[in-house]
Amino acid sequence: MLSRIIVTAIFSFASLANAAVVTLYYVDKNGGTSAAPTPTDDISIELADETKYSYIGPAQETGVTQYGVEHVVNRYVFHGNDVNPTVTVISEPVTRTWVLEQGASVHRENSPGFHTAAGAEGQPFWIQGFKENCKFDMEKKEGVCVDELELPVVTPIATQDSQTVFSTFTSTIGTTTFTGPLVPLATVTTSGASSKLMPSMMTLGSMFTTMAVFLAVKSL
């Protein structure tokens, strides 16, 4: 039910003003046949988001490099029906940042979850967080990953000056292990220049966010 695009890396070096070019890959858990979810007849999702990757520097572990990840959701609208109303969840950019580490055979990443309230009735909205650890075989061009999915949980704990005080904690909602082919995702230069998403991956980048988003709506 849940899906996460797993990013891993293979290094291809070019003489680019003393900078190396790194190609980032994700492990496709669907075996290279990823496709956008099939919408229902009367419910649709409008999504505009982007993910950028940048070089940070060597990690503490020898042969492993750190990269910064910036994921921005610019707009997210749940177009409903007579039962589930249309809700504009995000109309102003929401940014999450984290660090991934990867090297010749390892990948580690810990992405924070996100929670907010939206809509006339304050419907909760989550983007799942995740912890993952991947290894990949470059000869076979495939990787194996352990993915732990998390959701931020917000609980009211007190009231101060007519304002409710909330406590936020992370709830683990499942762990999956899977193997899949490596597919190019983005290129990053170690000089710190901006990364570039490969055109063929733009749809998959958006699909990741769509499948990682949960919106509580009315039901029969």
Which two three-digit tokens encode residue 129?
């967080």
pLDDT per residue over 1-59, tens digit each? 333 433 333 333 333 345 788 888 888 888 766 555 555 567 788 989 999 999 999 99
pLDDT per residue over 83-119, tens digit each? 888 888 888 898 999 998 888 788 889 988 887 766 5
The pTM score is 0.69
More confident residue, 215 or 119: 119
194, burial (CB in 10 Å: exposed 0-12, middle 13-18, buried 19+): exposed
Residue 184: pLDDT over 50? yes
